[in-house]
Amino acid sequence: MGRVQEKVVIVTGGASNPGLGHSAALSLAREGAKVVVTDIDAVGAERCAEEIRKAGGEAISLAHDVTKEAAWKEVIATTVRTFGRLDVLVNNAGIAVLKPLDELSLDDFNRQIAVNLTSVFLGCKYAAVEMRKSGGGSLINLSSVAGLVGISTCVAYGASKGGVRLMSKSLAVELGKDGIRCNSVHPGVIWTNMQAGAGNGSRTNADTMAAGLPLGRVGEPRDIANCILYLASDESDYVTGAEFTVDAGMTAA
Ligand code: NAD
Q: Are strands 180-187 and 58-63 parallel, antiparallel or unpaired?
A: unpaired
Terminal-to-terminal C-alpha distance of the chain: 39
Domain range summary for the chain, segments of one domain joined by +: 8-246
**Residue among 126, 157, 230, 238 flagged as catalytic:** 157
Q: How many residues does the chain have?
A: 253
Active site residue 126: no
pLDDT at 253: 87
Q: Are strands 34-39 and 58-63 parallel, antiparallel or unpaired?
A: parallel
Nearest CA to ligand 1 atom 39: 190
Bridge partners, 8 (sequence order) = 34
Nearest CA to ligand 1 atom 10: 13
Give dist(CA 147, CA 209) in Å, integer.
18
- Write out pLDDT tens, residues 150-197: 999 999 999 999 999 999 999 999 999 999 999 999 999 999 999 999
Class of domain 8-246: alpha beta
Q: Is the pLDDT of residue 199 over 90?
A: no
- Write out pLDDT tens, residues 122-145: 999 999 999 999 999 999 999 999
- Write out pLDDT tens, residues 65-79: 999 999 999 999 999
How many whole angstroms from 115 Cα to the centroid of ligand 1? Answer: 10
Peptide bond into 100 cis (omega under 30): no
Mean pLDDT, range 240-250, rounded to an integer: 98
Tell which one of 194, 207, 208, 246 to mutate to probe ligand 1, the residue whose CB is within 8 A of the most ligand atoms: 194
pLDDT at 10: 99
114: confidence class by pLDDT, cuts 50, 70, 90: very high
pLDDT at 201: 86
pLDDT at 49: 99
pTM recorded for the entire structure: 0.99
Nearest CA to ligand 1 atom 34: 94
Tell which one of 61, 74, 95 to mutate to probe ligand 1, the residue whose CB is within 8 A of the most ligand atoms: 95
Percent of all residues in the chain with a pLDDT value above 70, rounded to a whole number: 100
In ligand 1, the atom with minimum distance to the C-alpha of 93 is 7
pLDDT at 31: 98
Which has the closest alpha carbon to 165: 186, 181, 150? 186
Q: Is the pLDDT of residue 46 over 90?
A: yes
